[in-house]
Structure 1
Amino acid sequence: MVRTSLPGNPLAPAAARRFVRAAFADWTELALPVAPALSDRLADDSVVVLSELVTNAVVHAGTSVDLLCRMEPVAPDGTPAGLVIEVTDHHPARAVRNDRALRSPETPEYGRGLTLVASLAESWGITYRSGTKTVWARLIVDGAAPAVPDTPVQTGADAATRALQRGLRAADILSPVPRRAPEDRDWINRGALTFLAEASDLLAGQLDEDMVAALVGQLLVPRLADWCAIWLYDEEGRGLPGISDHDPRGADPLHVPRLARVWHTHENRTEDLRRILEKEPPQLPEAVRTAAVPVPWPFEGAPDSAGASLAYRLSAGGRTLGILLIGRAGLQRFPDEVTGLVEDFSRRVALAVSAARRYTRQATISRILQRGLLPTSIAEIPGMTSALVYEPKEQGGPGGDFYDVFPVGDGRWCFALGDVQGKGPEAAVVIGLARPWLRLLAREGYPVEQVLDRLNRLLLDDATEAADAAARALAAMGGQGVPPEGSTARFLSLLYGELTPTENGVCCTLASAGHPLPLLMRPGGEVVAAAAPQVLLGVVDDPDYTSETFELHTGDTLLCVTDGVTERRRGALQFDDGDGLARTLAGCAGLTAPLLADRIRRLVHAFADSPPDDDLALLVLQAQ
Structure 2
Amino acid sequence: MRAIPAQRETASRASGAPAREEEPPRAWADATLLGSSLAPASARALVRAALAEWTELGLPGTQAHTRRLADDTVLVVSELVTNAVVHAGTEIGLVCRAEEETGAVVVEVSDRHPARAPRDGASEPAHGSAEYGRGLTLVARLAECWGVTYRTGVKTVWARLPAEEHPDEPGAPTGPPPYAMPGPGRGRPERDGDWLDRGALSFLAEASDLLAGQLDEDLVAALTAQLLVPRLADWCAVWLEDEFTGRGRSPHGIPGTGPRLARVWHASENRIEELRRALEKEPPYPPDDPGPGSGPVPHPWPRAAPGEREPVGTALAYRLVAGGRPLGTLVIGQSGPEGFPDEVTGLVEDLGRRVALAIGAARQYARQATISAVLQRGLLPGAVAEIPGVRSALVYEPCDKGGPSGDFYDVFPAGEGRWCFAVGDVQGKGPEAAVVIGLARPWLRLLAREGYRVPDVLDRLNQLLLDDATEAADARARALVGPAAPGDGPQTRFLSLLYGELVPFDGGVRCTLGSAGHPLPLLLGPDGRVRTVAQPQTLLGVVEDATYTSETFRLRSGDSLLCVTDGVTERRSGSRQFDDGDGLAAALAGCAGLSAQSIAERIRRLVHDFGGRPPEDDLALLVLQAE
Same topology, TM > 0.5? yes
- Residue 471 of structure 1 pairs with residue 475 of structure 2: no
Is residue 295 of structure 2 the alignment partner of residue 291 of structure 1? yes
Distance 1:531 1:166 in 2: 72
Q: 2:160 aligns with which of 120, 124, 143?
A: 143
Q: Distance in 2 between matches of 1:194 and 1:24?
A: 9
Indicate whether 1:171 and 2:181 are aligned: yes
- Aligned partners of 1:168, 1:369: CA distance in 2, in Å? 52
Instruction: Say whether the 8 Å CA contact 2:79–2:133 is kept in structure 1.
Output: no
What SS does structure 2 have at the residue aligned with 1:17? coil
Supply the RMSD in Å over aligned alpha carbons: 4.2
Pick one of 199, 204, 210 that aligns with 1:202: 210
Match of 1:417 among 420, 423, 431: 423
- Aligned AA (2:247): G
Cα 1:232–1:498, aligned 2, differ >3 Å: closer, same or farther?
same
Counterpart in the other structure of 1:120: 138
Q: Out of 604-613 and 438-447, give the one that drifted further.
A: 604-613
Q: Summarize the Cα distance change of 1:143–1:615 in structure 2 as closer, same or farther, 3 Å threshold.
A: same
Distance 1:202 1:540 in 2: 50
What secondary structure is seen at the aligned counterpart in 1 of 2:316? strand
Match of 2:259 among 254, 257, 260: 257
Q: Distance in 1 between matches of 2:590 and 2:178?
A: 58
- Per-residue deviation, 1:220: 2.3
The equivalent residue for 1:622 is 625
Q: Tell me if 1:439 matches 2:445.
A: yes
Q: Does 1:17 align with 2:37?
A: yes
Is 1:229 paired with 2:237?
A: yes
| Alpha-carbon displacement from aligned partner over 1:340-366 (angstroms, at most 9, x marks no partner) | 332222111101111111122222222
Q: How many residues align?
A: 520
Q: Which amino acid aligns with 2:239?
A: W
Aligned to 1:320, which of 304, 322, 326? Answer: 326
Structure-2 residue corresponding to 1:381: 387
Q: Percent identity?
A: 58
Report the counterpart of residue 404 of structure 2 in structure 1: 398
Residue correspondence of structure 1 range 263-302 to structure 2 within 5 A: 263-282=265-284, 286-287=290-291, 289=293, 291-299=295-303
CA distance in 1, matches of 2:526, 2:299: 78
Alpha-carbon distance, 1:42 to partner: 7.0
When residues 80 and 568 of structure 1 are mapped into structure 2, their CA distance, relative to the original with a 3 A threshold, is closer
Q: Distance in 2 between matches of 1:331 and 1:444?
A: 82
- 1:169-196: per-residue Cα shift (whole Å, max 9, x none)? 513999563258x6xx3xx755443443
Q: Secondary structure at the match of 2:531?
A: strand
Q: CA deviation at 1:209?
A: 1.9
**Contact 1:293–1:311 (CA under 8 A) maintained in structure 2:** yes
Q: Which residue of 2 aligns with 1:368?
A: 374
Distance change in 2, residues 1:114/1:588 (3 Å): closer
The normalised TM-score by structure 2 is 0.73
Taking the aligned partners of 2:557 and 2:339, their CA distance within structure 1 comes to 83
1:618–1:44: structure 2 CA closer, same or farther, 3 Å change rule? Answer: farther
Matched, 1:553 2:561: no
CA contact (8 A) 1:238 1:255 kept: no
The answer (yes or no) to whether the contact 1:69–1:86 under 8 Å persists in 2 is no
- CA apart distance, 1:290: 5.7
Distance 1:621 1:546, change over 3 A: same
SS in 2 for 1:171: coil
Structure 2 distance, partners of 1:201, 1:144, is 25
Aligned mates of 2:227, 2:318 — CA distance in 1: 16
Task: Classify 1:318/1:422 alpha carbon distance in 2 versus 1 (closer, same or farther; 3 Å).
Answer: same
Per-residue CA deviation, residues 460-487 of structure 1 (Å, 9 max, x unaligned), is 11322211210122114x9xxx998367
> Are 2:583 and 1:577 equivalent residues in the alignment?
no
Partner of 1:504: 507
Report deviation, 1:613. 1.1
- What residue number does 1:451 align with? 457
Letter in 2 for 1:579: D
Distance 2:421 2:282 in 1: 59
Question: Which is greater in Rg?
Answer: 2
When residues 67 and 289 of structure 1 are mapped into structure 2, their CA distance, relative to the original with a 3 A threshold, is: farther
| Gapped regions of structure 2 (runs ≥ 5) | 1-33, 46-69, 95-105, 117-125, 142-154, 164-174
TM-score by length of 1: 0.73
CA–CA distance in structure 1, aligned partners of residues 582 and 73 of structure 2 = 51
CA separation of 1:383 and 1:66: change in aligned 2, threshold 3 A: farther
CA distance change for structure 1 residues 429 and 597 in 2, over 3 Å: closer, same or farther? same
**SS of aligned partner of 1:515:** coil
Report how far residue 532 of structure 1 moved. Answer: 1.3
Structure 1's 289 and 15: CA in aligned 2 closer, same or farther, altered over 3 A? farther
Q: Which has the higher contact order (CA 8 A, sep 6+)?
A: 1
Match of 2:488 in 1: 485
SS at match of 1:206: coil
Determine the C-alpha separation between the residues in 2 that align with 1:306 and 1:356. Answer: 36
When residues 72 and 564 of structure 1 are mapped into structure 2, their CA distance, relative to the original with a 3 A threshold, is: closer
